[in-house]
Amino acid sequence: MALGIPAKDFILDAPELNLQSHRKRDLIELHLTYCNNLSAHSLRTLTRFRQTLVSLSLFGCSRIFYRKGGAPLVGDEEEEEERPASRQAPDTDFSFQGFNRLRLLNLGGLPEEVDAEALLKPLPALTSLDLSGVPLPKAAFLAHWKERLASLVLYNVDLSEELINTVVELGHLSIEPCKSSIYPFQELKRPLQFLGLYNTTLCNVTHIPAYKAEGVSTISLNSAPPFPPPHQSQVQRNCCLTLCNFSIPEELEFQYGRVNLLLLKILEPVRQDESIQRIAVHLCNALVCQVDNHHKEAVGKMGFVKVGKTDVSKKPQDRMCDQVMEFSWSALWNITDETPDNCQMFLNCKGMSLFLDCLKEFPDKQELHRNMLGLLGNVAEVRALRPQLLTPQFISDFR
């Protein structure tokens, strides 16, 4: 049995009653998030499930580690701020002794007054531990799970030399570099299996000591716009190349809109560096190729159809049919697929005139024609738009 309870479902003293109602069941998973009304009495209630609990999250439930007399009352937030530390009495009686099946534990926000080492030491089977925001003046005890721990999350934790020496022995690590640096890890002979770089600004890092890293896209998103020429082109190129390392669109889903806005910003200049333009158009195409219509419509409203059409319109003038040209038509084909609004945008941008110009200027480019006709097919599928295709010039060219 699994039970997840957010803060809004709790009232004072109700948690004990809720857990009491489940005492005769085998509670395997329990997630409590920011439940500020819980006291140490609730914590001791958990011992009734010590033989069955496999996963436990007490993220943000800091008051659960205090005796009821020492914890602030509901609604007394001002009193809480003025309450002397001596009245905040942590419960030293609770122990995870006997929680032999517990594998996943989240103690994010554990108060500084609580001894993390003493609290965790009795747990023999931990495989995943989240200590986000937890002060760890002494970290050597984490090596106790060296052979078993697969995931250790240290978001917003100061990485001391002792902590660094400890975590390099483990397989997984997630950190927030705002309060730490990955540079001490760069000399590792054996890379980490996973390195989390959420909210980073590590633009100059050339070697990330991990087989897999996530959150690196934040580097690109934060570093691309501000740099003035002559550095802008190099930074934009590096950002685009960084994004190419991701599985698109899956690994960029959490920043989908922002990534597209960034790429459109890069593509806006009338005469952009060709290599940057080629990579950016390729990324745009990948981002709209395998997503639902809602995403395509959103990108269309951002201006993708107009920017893509503008990029293509320069090519017939230059008599140049290159990868940028083909990628742009391919992206326009993808973004108009089953999206009538985007098809209408294409027509509004005089897309059919561009279609005829490209067809006339590049009569022998079959791959280009395939992409162009694919887009035309998308427009023709929209019944309301078909009359706009029946112009004398268009009919004459297709006879």
The predicted pLDDT at position 193 comes to 66
The predicted pLDDT at position 184 comes to 63
For the chain, the structural domain boundaries read 248-399
**Mean pLDDT to the nearest integer, 224-251:** 70
Instruction: Indicate whether 292 pLDDT > 60.
Output: yes
Instruction: Indicate whether 377 pLDDT > 90.
Output: yes
Mean pLDDT of the chain: 76
Instruction: Indicate whether 199 pLDDT > 60.
Output: no
Rounded Cα distance, 274 and 266, in Å: 11
The predicted pLDDT at position 16 comes to 46
Band of residue 56 on the pLDDT scale cut at 50, 70, 90: very high
Lowest mean pLDDT among 18-27, 230-239, 330-339, 366-375: 18-27
Give the pLDDT confidence of 22-34 residue by residue, as tens digits: 555 678 888 888 8
Q: What DSSP letter does each residue of 28-53 carry, written as one string?
A: -EEEEES-TT--HHHHHHGGGGTTT-
**Mean pLDDT to the nearest integer, 69-85:** 40
Band of residue 149 on the pLDDT scale cut at 50, 70, 90: confident
Cis check: omega of the bond before 135, within 30 degrees of 0 = no
Instruction: Indicate whether 109 pLDDT > 70.
Output: yes
The predicted pLDDT at position 224 comes to 45
Rounded Cα distance, 321 and 325, in Å: 6
The predicted pLDDT at position 76 comes to 40
Q: In terms of DSSP bridges, do strands 194-197 and 128-130 run parallel, antiparallel, or are they unpaired?
A: unpaired
Which residues have CB under 8 Å from 2's CB, separation 6+?
27, 28, 29, 30, 31, 55
pLDDT above 90: percentage of residues in the chain = 16
Instruction: Indicate whether 182 pLDDT > 70.
Output: no
Give the pLDDT confidence of 309-367 residue by residue, as tens digits: 887 877 777 777 888 888 889 999 999 999 999 999 999 988 898 898 888 888 888 88
Fold of 248-399: Leucine-rich Repeat Variant (1.25.10)
Phi and psi at residue 151, in whole multiples of 5°? Answer: -140, 125
Residues in the chain: 399
Classify residue 63 by burial, with Cβ atoms within 10 Å: 0-12, 13-18, 19+. buried
The predicted pLDDT at position 1 comes to 47
Q: How far is CA 83 from the centre of its chain?
A: 38
Instruction: Indicate whether 177 pLDDT > 80.
Output: no
